[in-house]
Structure 1
């Protein structure tokens, strides 16, 4: 798949070229730093390093007006205001699942390209995707036209599938949060799903969502009794993942509506996140109504 917009292609190419370097750079950066990100989570050394690397490269692209990261409190102004329609804003989770570093499990990088100043609704996305640092480094890119998957090697993107769609018959599910902290209505829905599908949950959003894209099914991180607003960030995780899954023929939801229709109040807003096959998300929303 060739991205038709040259600025978006430059953003995607920069992330794909950086991915191999980020993966190699995880070695020796499995510890934490004495700081927290804006969401109050302890940062891994790799979080900070990956953010600095991507921030420098993406902010330097002509046509990128803002860079924002889950690891930074504020938007970085790159000199052109996306609100004027002359530039894009890029929001990134530089290292999704970095808590998996200690146990050497799956991680990823998530990005969204917004045609609006941040924070913005997911409906203003023009492209989104993720890199998965699995046994093979892969990249999924969604645009208005299609969703494509690539293998990344030596800075090159090699097409695996240029028309990724969710399989019609769902197979897997994964739900985050502690079961005793789930609201009763979600717990009832989850009990039904676990009787129908196979559990696949690895503690990194990217890995769990990629299982759903590959096999069909549903992933959810609900609002909890202790955290009704959810855990995942709308700008950096919810919107980009919702965009990918919707473009692949599935649905996204915050429990009430498409994630892409949620109006953000602040850059680091959290949200419940549910994605998957249409029928499963319809059932979720009915259960939570």
Structure 2
């Protein structure tokens, strides 16, 4: 079974997804499984990736943030996708992306079942970051081709931080932690997890969408966002946490289960766990 074939399909679809965004910025009268009102672009990107990945011989099932259930399509890996992470940025023309986790186990399962994870970032250029076999590599995507631009390792000296959620809704421990690091790091938060994680991978630091007073599990989904991003960051020499343990060790009992997410340099994540 070929993981590379799965990743190639995502890379080939990326320019098509990007070029199809301008005419799909409006909301539709549908909500996804998490209760979020969908954009036309969300549904379109999901259908495109679902059809393309279902046609890959090594894909056994397709799961999406935009679909209620896991869809069995054959025998092989289980692919979990967030088709358009940060799609709310489409209206304001800010970055967004696609997140992919390739699992070698039935869903739901822990992040330890991941054999590869990737994200595509639709920024000024289209890039694809892939983690597999213990390393993380960045590619530039042009006309569906992936051009290797080098292995990624988190810089030892962190520079940036970005925390999601409303500040008044943060638990006291999260607020205390941010107060300790805001004098050391530069705030970088753009409302799309992929773009903010890319800043952390490039400059070092920490990204988080924490637990909230109104929502103890935070906002992000473990199978579609938390575990794949943790796999990427840990493969680049960083750490991840839900506040107490690696995101790869979080027990998952529901396909659309949410989790607090903290990823970045190990020292910053360790300090976070000691505070919250």
TM-score (norm 1): 0.95
Residue correspondences, number: 276
After the TM superposition, list the runs of 4 or more consecutive aligned residues in structure 1 that deviate by more than 6 angstroms: none
Partner Cα separation in structure 1 for residue 56 and residue 270 of structure 2: 40
| 1:218 partner SS | strand
CA root-mean-square deviation? 0.7
Q: Does residue 1:29 correspond to 2:29, yes or no?
A: no
Give the one of 74, 77, 98 matched to 1:79: 74
Q: Which residue of 2 aligns with 1:10?
A: 5
Q: Which residue of 1 aligns with 2:214?
A: 226
Give the one of 98, 101, 113 matched to 2:102: 113
Q: Does residue 1:44 correspond to 2:32, yes or no?
A: no
> What does 1:178-193 align with in structure 2 at a 5 Å threshold?
178-193=166-181
- Deviation for aligned residue 1:247: 0.3
> What does 1:191-202 align with in structure 2 at a 5 Å threshold?
191-202=179-190
User: What whole-Å deviation, never above 9, does each CA across 1:224-260 have from its counterpart, x for those lacking one?
Assistant: 0000011000000000000000000000000000000
Q: Does residue 1:158 correspond to 2:147, yes or no?
A: yes
Q: Which residue of 2 aligns with 1:273?
A: 261
Q: Does residue 1:134 correspond to 2:123, yes or no?
A: yes
| 2:152 partner SS | coil
TM-score (norm 2): 0.99
User: What whole-Å deviation, never above 9, does each CA across 1:2-45 have from its counterpart, x for those lacking one?
Assistant: xxxx5201100000000000000001100011000000001000
Does the 8 Å contact 2:219/2:260 carry over to 1? yes
Does the 8 Å contact 2:57/2:74 carry over to 1? no
Partner Cα separation in structure 2 for residue 42 and residue 12 of structure 1: 28
Give the one of 116, 133, 146 matched to 1:144: 133
Partner Cα separation in structure 2 for residue 155 and residue 38 of structure 1: 30
- Deviation for aligned residue 1:159: 1.1
Partner Cα separation in structure 1 for residue 140 and residue 164 of structure 2: 28
Partner Cα separation in structure 1 for residue 152 and residue 172 of structure 2: 34
> Runs of 5+ in structure 2 lacking a partner?
none
Q: Which residue of 2 aligns with 1:69?
A: 64
> What does 1:208-287 align with in structure 2 at a 5 Å threshold?
208-287=196-275
- Deviation for aligned residue 1:145: 3.5
- Deviation for aligned residue 1:79: 2.9
